[in-house]
Amino acid sequence: MAKRKKVATKNELESFLRSLAKYDTESGVETCLPELLLEDGSWFEGRADSDDYAVTKKWKKKRKPKAQDCYYNSQEFCAKDNGSRYFEGFVLILAGIIPSEHCWVVMQDGRVVDFTLEAAEVVVAEKGHTVDLRGAVYVGLEVPRAFIVENLDETGWCGPIAELFYADDMKRIADGGQGPTKSPRGRKRPSKQT
């Protein structure tokens, strides 16, 4: 009897985010990222192979992305490629597995390219096993390329930046949802505290 693949579902990821939001509220955590993802996040199901696009195939060959290095992989690629978009949020790779904070690239045709999950599949294959993570479900917030480049220029560091970019929206949610939701396009970086 053949094993059935456990397919990740949007409902499972939404349920996880609702539980995380409830936990954050009850424990006094004020990140509000789960709430913002549920309110304004973009959803993606499945991913393309990076070899499907000449630009990602070339970048992957040159940079050799690594598993567990999603911020570096995605931010470095998006900083170099004007045609891609960068998202941060959560990914559910298989049903029944706890979703992970993650980031990824979305190409001009709207398909996800995830250098990090591809690298993880290679690591698993090198150990003599197989896993197909192409059916992952993603929910994320887009962070504009200009903000990524500015952050890399200022810090030289790749890491989570969505919470910094969406600080005003998270404050609005923490304050009880008062005030308008801003469009991610054209947003200026929050002023620095002195």
pLDDT tens-digit profile, the chain (194 residues)? 444 456 779 999 999 999 999 998 888 877 788 999 999 999 999 999 999 999 999 999 999 999 999 999 999 999 999 999 999 999 999 888 999 999 999 999 999 999 999 999 999 999 999 888 999 999 999 999 999 999 999 999 999 999 999 988 888 777 776 544 544 433 333 333 33
Burial (Cβ within 10 Å: 0-12, 13-18, ≥19) of residue 94: middle
User: What is the rounded distance in angstroms from the CA atom of residue 138 to the CA atom of residue 26?
Assistant: 25
- Per-residue CA distances from 152 to 23, 33, 126 (Å): 32, 22, 32
pTM: 0.85
